[in-house]
């Protein structure tokens, strides 16, 4: 009922329906009605937990939303570096997996190159299921190298994101110290559902509609 009421009250329903919170409301509402129609689908009711995301808006936790936006910008800024790094890791996994297939063979469980690549990725990410293990000294030596490389591979993308995150925080601090930083809140425009308005704003920056006082 609340979801339908929001659609009726807003001037442009499509903006709300396809917005972030609109999708969250839909996903958290529809499982209830599906459970009435299809037996055994009550497990979908757990999806309603998505509505907890609205706590950020209800409690006006703009500070936390700002930190989330900063993290999002850091991930976006380091996207190219992480993509190149993951591509290099994939190539290394293919090479190492092929080498392990040639060294170990079927007796140790390395029945094919894809299986060997699977083992390499599992070992490289330090997961280590233990379903396949090298038995020859040469294979164990290669496995040792892969394990040691795994620690570095985990640290590299983390360092990339951390560096960008620190840079974002430094830029924000510089703006605050210079007086150029503008604080925004979570107030939502009743017409276009855009957020991120200035505290002293009376009209929406996107469509120009009057904001709720």
Q: Could you state, in order of their start, the residue ranges of all structural domains in the chain?
A: 2-60, 77-178
Return d(Cα 187, Cα 138) in angstroms, integer. 63
Phi, psi of 206 (to 5 degrees): -95, -50
The structure tokens listed for 189 are 């425009």
The closest alpha carbon to 184, from 165, 210, 160, 204, belongs to: 204
Q: Assign a CATH topology to domain 77-178.
A: Helix Hairpins (1.10.287)
DSSP 92-112: HHHHHHHHHHHHH-GGGT--S
First to last CA, the chain: 25
Q: Name the band, by pLDDT with cuts 50, 70 and 90, for residue 59.
A: low
Q: pLDDT band at 37, cuts 50/70/90?
A: confident
pLDDT digits (tens, 9 = 90+) for 137-163: 999 999 999 998 888 888 888 888 888
Mean pLDDT computed over every residue of the chain: 77
- pLDDT for 57 equals 57
pLDDT in tens, 96-125: 999 999 999 888 889 999 999 999 999 988
pLDDT at residue 179, rounded to an integer = 52
CA distances from 41 to 149, 151, 172 (A): 44, 41, 46
Asked if residues 153 and 140 have their Cβ atoms less than 8 Å apart, the reply is no
pLDDT at residue number 97 = 92
Q: Is the dihedral of CA 110, 112, 117, 119 positive or negative?
A: negative
Q: Are 165 and 74 in contact (CB under 8 A)?
A: yes
Percent of the chain with pLDDT over 90: 20
105/97 Cα distance (integer angstroms): 11
């Amino acid at each position: 009922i609340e979801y339908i009421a929001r659609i009726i009250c807003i001037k442009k329903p499509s903006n709300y329906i396809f917005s972030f919170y609109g999708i969250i409301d839909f996903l958290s509402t529809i499982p209830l009605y599906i459970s009435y129609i299809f037996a055994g689908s009550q497990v979908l009711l757990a999806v309603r937990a998505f509505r907890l995301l609205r706590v950020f808006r209800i409690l006006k936790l703009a500070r936390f939303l700002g930190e989330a936006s900063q993290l999002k910008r850091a991930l976006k800024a380091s996207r190219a570096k992480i993509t190149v790094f993951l591509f290099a890791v994939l190539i290394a996994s293919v090479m190492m997996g092929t080498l392990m297939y040639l060294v170990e063979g079927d007796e140790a469980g390395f029945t094919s190159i894809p299986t060997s690549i699977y083992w390499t990725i599992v070992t490289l990410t330090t997961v280590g299921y233990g379903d396949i293990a090298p038995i020859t000294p040469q294979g164990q030596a290669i496995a040792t190298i892969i394990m040691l490389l795994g620690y570095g591979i985990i640290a590299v993308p983390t360092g990339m994101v951390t560096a960008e995150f620190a840079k974002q925080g430094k830029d924000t601090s510089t703006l605050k110290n210079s007086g150029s930083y503008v604080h925004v809140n979570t107030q939502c425009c009743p017409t276009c559902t855009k957020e991120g308005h200035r505290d002293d704003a009376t009209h929406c920056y996107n469509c120009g509609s009057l904001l709720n006082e």
